[in-house]
Structure 1
Amino acid sequence: MAAKHDILIIGPSWVGDMVMAQSLFAALKQRYPEGNIDVLAPEWTRPLLARMPEIREAISMPVTHGVFGWKQRRQIGLGLRYKKYDQSIVLPNSWKSALIPWFAQIPTRTGWLGEMRYGLLNDPRKLNKQALPLMVQRFVSLAHPASQAHIAPEYSPPKMIAEAVTSELATVNSPNQKRLVLCPGAEFGPAKQWPATHYAELGEQLSQQGWQVLIMGSKADAAVGEQIVAGINDKQNVVNLCGKTQLGEAIDLIATADQVVSNDSGLMHIAAALNKPLIAIYGPTSPAFTPPLSDNAQLVQIPIECSPCFQRTCPLGHHKCMQDISSVTITEMILTN
């Protein structure tokens, strides 16, 4: 085992994927305990990485997702040569994502083959989807030798460390009051969203039981958050924080929850990594690929002939895979737990 083995990770651009990548980071630290792990990823991922103890440094990736940016990628790669990394692991499957480690002259460049990345990657792996059905398995496999690429690896679930909430958004609940966090958004598209009316019914039932209700999400979820607030009678016990928190604040607030209910989303994976009691509602996507990686999570998905369709919007217009999951079902799961 090498005494020093410094690794540059080219990170993913989605919240949930970055959370699941922590299992890879943990596997690398186990294999190279004296090594350092840096992650090159979009600036918005910095609060996530700051709460992962395996990471030495988060390096901001200025080239936005989907942009080729040959000149910028070359400049970044040249600027990283002085760090003398021993290895780079490229998590995105695109050709352009493998350019920076190549420009940086990192001697071992590991990743799954995709878009003909021979040369850019000199430690390429051919993916066997049947052997590695979970995304987290595909990430963690890259910590091990290529000869083991067809073997499903053992992995530790992501475990994020939250910080104390010091923001003005640190809403106060009474000492014996439980806190329900609702995560109604989904960046993928509206098909993944449990209806706002159902979230409101759930919030109403729990507020009647004395719970405080926090609604978490991005600016794009603000309107949905207001719909949920409108459906809850006790407005003093509900706070819509959609679009009002930075990612780091959202992480730390979710860590204060007694129960989280979420669509299949990045915040779902964050709640799982914080080991919070979680109900994850699935419709057009499948937990067979990207489930919440926590023993504290319960999955809800009903059998619908057309599900999972993996479409951003319901192609049939009825959205039954989500509409037919009743708020009563979720309420009973919480109150009888």
Structure 2
Amino acid sequence: MKILVVAPSWIGDTILAQPLLALLKRKHPDARIEVLAPNWSAPLLGRMGEVDAVIVNPFGHGEFNFGARRALGRRLASADFSKAYVLPNSWKSALVPFFAGIPRRIGYQGEARYLLLNERHRLDASAHPQLVQRYAALAGPPPATLPQPHLSSTVEQQQAVRRELGLPLDAAPVIFCPGAEYGPAKRWPSQHFAALARLVASPQNPVWLVGSAKDAAVGDEISAAAEGAALNLCGRSSLEQAIDLIASARCVVSNDSGLMHVAAALGRPLVALYGSSSPAYTPPLSAEAEIISRNLPCSPCFKRECPLGHFDCMNGITPEQIAANVTAKLRS
């Protein structure tokens, strides 16, 4: 059996899709699972044992390009997939499996997908409040305890990336992930990160900032305000390198972001900061994760910027509070 999974576009959502992949492998141990995903997700999928191959989805966020989607589907028609699981809810995300002629095309009803999907699920949000549960339910009634996401990272890979970036091989870093692609309402203020770095950095546990090129500017702000207590690696490392950097961390402090879910899937001690988003919907799936949220009446608002202008949900989480959490994890 060959199964195609159309993956979500976001890094965090891709991690949350892994329990579905594990359930599919459980049901069909000999199945070959291939994932249609954006190029930037390929390093994650390559670290998942359930994934046999990645097919690059060339379409950017919001890009339609009907003709190119039809052409891609027709190219995949000869691959003999027997099932396709379409995780995004958009109409366009179901086009490729349809044009590939895959016999069973499975997903949530979504937006006008009556012809494109022939096994449509209706979302029961009360039964499945978490995104990971919603993905997993596409494989059938999910077990009481879902498989946990897991990304592989060897000591050899971790040492190699440190050599590539000129980092000390014996450091046990505290890693901060200060970015959040969705918008500033999900980001703990840079001055708070800087103050936290000054509180927790030590020769044994240096603070490293990890993120994409889009996070380089905020990383520079934090590094400058930290007065030498934080090394900015944002934009200096690829996603694959970031996986191996995070895998060797003594502790990770992160906004609700893709890298937060990466840290959870690597089993690292994690302090996860929530403001405008909801830990009830997309929590880090790890027993090593500690969720910090002020649970204000105005949150979660799910806005890109604070609609009230005060940003109390994040401003009110103090560096001293998080330093206590980090120190406890370093001692454990």
- The alpha carbon displacement at 1:170 in A equals 5.2
8 A Cα contact 2:107 2:117, kept in partner: yes
CA deviation after TM superposition for structure 1 residue 229, in Å = 1.0
In the alignment, the residues of structure 1 paired with residue 172 and residue 5 of structure 2 have an alpha-carbon distance, to the nearest angstrom, of 39
Match of 2:7 in 1: 11
Instruction: Give 1:152 shift.
Output: 7.1
Q: Which digits, 9 at most, give the CA deviation of each residue in 1:70-125, with x for residues without a partner?
A: 11111111111111011000000011111111111100000000112112100110
Alignment of 1:64-103 (within 5 A): 64-103=60-99
User: Aligned pair in 2 of structure 1 residues 36, 209: CA closer, same or farther (>3 Å)?
Assistant: same
Structure 1 residue aligned with 2:273: 281
Residue 100 of structure 2 is aligned to residue 104 of structure 1: yes
2:291 pairs with 1:295: no
Shift of 1:231: 2.2
Which residue of the partner structure matches residue 151 of structure 2? 160
Q: Return the alpha-carbon distance in structure 2 between the equivalents of residues 25 and 74 of structure 1.
A: 25
Q: Does residue 179 in structure 1 map to residue 179 in structure 2?
A: no
Q: Over residues 284-306 of structure 1, what are the superposed CA-to-partner deviations in whole Å (9 max), with x where a residue is unaligned?
A: 11100000000000000013221
Q: 1:270 to 1:110 in 2, by over 3 A?
A: same
Cα pair 1:89 1:109 within 8 Å, conserved = yes
Match of 1:222 in 2: 216
SS in 2 for 1:200: helix
For residue 231 of structure 2, what is the aligned residue in structure 1? 239
Q: Does 1:196 align with 2:187?
A: no
Tell me, yes or no, if structure 1 residue 212 matches structure 2 residue 185: no
TM-score normalised per structure 2: 0.94
Equivalent position amino acid for 1:140 in 2:
A
Looking at structure 2, the residues matched to 219 and 205 of structure 1 have their Cα atoms a distance apart, in angstroms, of: 26
**What displacement does 1:66 show?**
0.8
Q: Residue type of the partner of 1:160?
A: L
1:40 maps to amino acid: L
Residues 273 and 293, structure 1, Cα contact 8 Å, conserved in 2: yes
State the shift of 1:238 in Å. Answer: 3.0
Q: Secondary structure at the match of 1:281?
A: strand
CA RMSD of aligned residues (A): 1.4
Structure 1 position 333, deviation (Å): 1.1
Cα distance in 2 for partners of 1:80, 1:249 equals 31
Kindly state the Cα deviation for residue 250 of structure 1 after the two structures are TM-superposed: 0.7
Offset, 1:210:
4.3
- Report the TM-score, using the length of structure 1 for normalisation: 0.93
- For 2:237, the aligned partner's letter is T
Alignment match of 2:54 (pick from 46, 54, 58)? 58
2:246 aligns with 254
In the alignment, structure 2 segments of 5+ residues that lack a partner are none
**Equivalent of 2:298, from 296, 302, 306?**
306
Runs of 4+ in 1 over 6 A off after TM superposition: none
User: What is the percent sequence identity of the aligned residues?
Assistant: 46
Partner SS for 1:105? coil
1:121 alignment partner in structure 2: 117
8 Å CA contact 2:94–2:117 kept in 1: the answer is yes
Write the letter of the residue equivalent to 1:181. I
Query: How far apart are 1:257 and its partner, in Å?
Result: 0.3
- Alignment partners' CA distance in 2, 1:10 and 1:242: 29
